[in-house]
């Protein structure tokens, strides 16, 4: 399917139906225009073809902007607590650098500073007392109490250590018991193994002689000897098993006793550790009682108080400087005109209070918002033409001087849009243009001359190959020719490769065109299509004006599918 190319979002190449939205106080007016000095394609043989010719491509972005001052100097209050006695200028006055513009009433300010100086001195004395309190040692009675606490903890550690050391002897003796029990188990296991072997042999012998007895090969007394031997071997085996069980029980009891001693020893070690911590704490408290700054927390508190006192002293020094630096007048550092006096006489001002605004009205700028889809085309130094319905016959020029590094949201009549703020210089201020005026801006983003151009509808896109192409007429045949395009105007597009000046091409691409068909076949098909459209118009008897518009649209967009446009679907060849 071939679709007409209408450009990317925010670009409108249609002469009517422009959407205009004001961009004042947070709102935005935005249209993207493309202009081209369309070359005369009359060099083609008929209405279906055209010649590739050199022409110009121009593209502009239009927006609304607001005039503002480029440089405005603010005269601020000198310090906290100043009161304006009177202004020495009025709005609209012309001033020179160094001229007095405000006279201060310094009487109240002086009184206030002197009061603050007295308060600062009292605070400094209190800070000194706080330092003295931090460094004063404890009383002798408190020190004696802490010394006793240290002695108590030392004795507790000594007693616990003695008990702890005794566990070494107990554990050694118990380990000997465990080793003996382990040897008893080994002996019992060996006896059991031997008893089991003897029992097995006795069982074999008894069975053999039992069979011989039955056969009459031995006497009853001889058999009884082996039967008694079997009984004795069985008793020995059972006794050996009992000995193994007893030896294992003895070993387990010895092991458990050993583990109990280990736990008791470890608990005693914990008691020693706890007592050592208590001793360390008591020693630190005793040391801090004798020398307060030896305690880390107290030392930090001391250092903090020293810094506080230093800050109080610095504050006092600043107040004394403020008292010495009191001034009676505020002066302007620049030439210009008084544009605003935002405060009243007798007002108290601080050092960030603006008292007088002074500006050079010959240095103006224009602030504007650019819609996000066109923002990438805006570059520093681009030429801007500015007009206003309220300033009939006035045209101002300038250049883009600043582009915001980030986007923001702006309100429009249709909602909220993402925009990029820019700033534009004004090259020819004339005294008529005032801050706050609204201007219509036309920013030249593309201005090319003497470049190869063709009709926009002549170029289509091959979706499979992701290439653009036209149909070039060669020896009266249509040849699908790959091209590369550059910038686009309202009805023409720049060709950067694939064609040369004077080449003949089909002026309106169509999915009905086949690579290699003759020019006459193409013309015949188009004429028949137009004839069918006229016949359908006559049969339907519809509105003439509407039918003419539809017929015109069909001629520009062959096959009823819409003109291909190099941004649309296009025939795929």
Q: Where are the domains of the chain?
A: 30-71+361-560, 74-97+336-359, 140-290
- Dist. CA 462–CA 455, nearest whole Å: 18
Place of tokens 């070359």: 39
- Beta-strand pair 438-455/460-462: unpaired
Instruction: Please say whether the beta carbons of 400 and 422 come within 8 A.
Output: yes
Measure Cα distances from 316 to 116, 122, 177, 306 in Å.
8, 10, 83, 15
Backbone angles phi, psi at 171, to 5 degrees: -65, -35
Q: What is the pLDDT of residues 171-216, one digit of tens each?
A: 899 899 999 999 999 999 999 999 999 999 999 999 999 999 998 8
Total length of the chain: 573
Low-confidence ranges of the chain (pLDDT < 70): 1-46, 79-81, 541-573
pTM equals 0.45
CATH architecture of 140-290: Orthogonal Bundle (1.10)
- Dist. CA 252–CA 518, nearest whole Å: 110
- For 92, residues 6+ apart whose C-beta sits below 8 A from its C-beta are 337, 338
- Dist. CA 538–CA 299, nearest whole Å: 107
- Dist. CA 322–CA 185, nearest whole Å: 98
Q: Which residues pair with 452 in a beta bridge?
A: 54
- For 69, residues 6+ apart whose C-beta sits below 8 A from its C-beta are 339, 359, 360, 361, 363, 364, 365, 435
18: left (phi over 0), alpha (psi -120 to 50) or beta: beta
- Dist. CA 424–CA 68, nearest whole Å: 10
pLDDT value for 81: 63
pLDDT value for 3: 33
DSSP assignment, residue 518? B
Query: SS3 of 11, please?
Result: coil
Backbone angles phi, psi at 160, to 5 degrees: -65, -35
Helix (H) or strand (E) holding 337: strand 336-340
Instruction: Please say whether the beta carbons of 195 and 236 come within 8 A.
Output: yes
Reference 126, options 315, 305, 302, 303; nearest CA is 305
- For 56, residues 6+ apart whose C-beta sits below 8 A from its C-beta are 36, 37, 447, 448, 449, 450, 451, 453
Question: 117-140 burial string, b = 16+ CB within 10 Å, else e?
Answer: beebeebbeebeebeeebeeebee
Q: Which residues pair with 385 in a beta bridge?
A: 397, 442
CA-based max dimension of the chain = 156
Q: Which residues pair with 76 in a beta bridge?
A: 354
Instruction: Please say whether the beta carbons of 350 and 108 come within 8 A.
Output: no
pLDDT value for 288: 79
Reference 567, options 481, 453, 482, 485; nearest CA is 485
Instruction: Please say whether the beta carbons of 494 and 451 come within 8 A.
Output: yes
Q: What is the pLDDT of residues 57-83, one digit of tens each?
A: 888 899 999 999 888 899 998 766 678
* Pair of tokens at residue 37: 């000095």
**Could you please report the per-residue DSSP string of 176-212?**
HHHHHHHHHHHHHHHHHHHHHHHHHHHHHHHHHHHHH
Place of tokens 């305690």: 295
pLDDT value for 331: 93
Backbone angles phi, psi at 493, to 5 degrees: -135, 145
- What CATH code would you report for 30-71+361-560? 2.40.30.170
Helix (H) or strand (E) holding 313: helix 296-324
pLDDT value for 294: 78
- Dist. CA 255–CA 17, nearest whole Å: 101
pLDDT value for 39: 47
Query: SS3 of 539, please?
Result: helix
Place of tokens 């679709």: 3
């Amino acid at each position: 399917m071939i679709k007409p190319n209408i450009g990317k979002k925010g670009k409108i190449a249609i002469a009517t139906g422009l959407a205009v939205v004001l961009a004042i106080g947070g709102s935005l007016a935005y249209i993207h225009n493309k202009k081209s000095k369309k070359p005369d394609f009359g060099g083609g043989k008929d209405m279906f073809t055209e010649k590739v010719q050199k022409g110009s491509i121009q593209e502009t972005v239009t927006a609304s902007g607001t005039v503002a001052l480029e440089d405005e100097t603010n005269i601020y209050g000198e310090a906290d607590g100043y009161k304006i006695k009177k202004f020495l200028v009025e709005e609209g006055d012309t001033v020179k650098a160094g001229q007095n513009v405000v006279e201060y009433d310094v009487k109240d300010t002086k009184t206030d500073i002197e009061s603050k100086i007295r308060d600062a001195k009292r605070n400094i004395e209190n800070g000194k007392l706080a330092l003295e309190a931090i460094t004063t040692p404890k009383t002798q009675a408190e020190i004696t109490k802490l010394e006793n606490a240290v002695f108590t903890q030392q004795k507790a550690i000594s007693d616990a250590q003695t008990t702890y050391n005794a566990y070494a002897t107990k554990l050694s003796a118990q380990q000997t018991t465990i080793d003996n029990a382990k040897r008893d188990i080994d002996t019992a296991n060996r006896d059991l193994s031997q008893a089991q072997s003897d029992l097995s042999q006795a069982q074999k012998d008894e069975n053999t002689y039992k069979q011989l007895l039955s056969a009459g090969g031995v006497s009853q007394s001889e058999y009884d000897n082996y039967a008694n031997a079997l009984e004795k071997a069985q008793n020995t085996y059972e006794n050996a098993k009992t000995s193994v069980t007893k030896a294992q029980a003895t070993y387990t009891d010895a092991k458990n006793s050993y583990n109990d001693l280990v736990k008791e020893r470890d608990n005693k070690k914990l008691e020693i550790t706890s007592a050592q911590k208590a001793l360390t704490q008591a020693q630190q408290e005793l040391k801090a009682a004798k020398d307060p700054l030896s305690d880390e927390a107290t030392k930090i508190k001391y250092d903090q108080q020293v810094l506080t006192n230093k800050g109080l002293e610095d504050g006092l020094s600043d107040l004394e400087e403020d008292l010495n630096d009191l001034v009676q007048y505020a002066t302007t550092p620049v030439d210009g005109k008084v544009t605003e006096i935002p405060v009243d006489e007798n007002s108290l001002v601080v050092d960030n209070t603006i008292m007088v605004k002074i500006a050079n009205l010959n240095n103006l700028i224009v602030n504007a918002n650019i819609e996000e889809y066109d923002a990438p085309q805006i570059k520093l130094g681009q030429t801007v033409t500015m007009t206003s319905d309220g300033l009939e016959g006035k045209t101002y020029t300038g250049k883009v001087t600043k582009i915001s590094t980030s986007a923001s949201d702006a309100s429009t009549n249709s909602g909220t849009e993402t925009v990029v703020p820019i700033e534009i210089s004004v090259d020819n201020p004339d005294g008529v243009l005032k801050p706050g005026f609204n201007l219509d801006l036309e920013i030249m983003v593309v201005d090319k001359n003497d470049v190869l151009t063709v009709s926009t509808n002549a170029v289509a896109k091959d979706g499979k190959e992701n290439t653009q192409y036209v149909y070039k007429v060669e020896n009266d045949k249509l040849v699908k020719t790959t091209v590369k395009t550059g910038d686009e105007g309202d009805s023409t597009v720049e060709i950067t490769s694939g064609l040369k000046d004077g080449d003949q091409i089909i002026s309106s691409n169509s999915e009905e065109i086949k690579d290699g068909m003759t020019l006459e076949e193409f013309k015949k098909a188009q004429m028949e299509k137009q004839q069918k459209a006229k016949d359908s118009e006559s049969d339907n008897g519809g509105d003439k004006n509407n039918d003419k518009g539809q017929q015109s649209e069909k001629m520009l967009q062959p096959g009823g599918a819409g003109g291909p446009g190099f941004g649309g679907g296009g025939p795929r060849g």
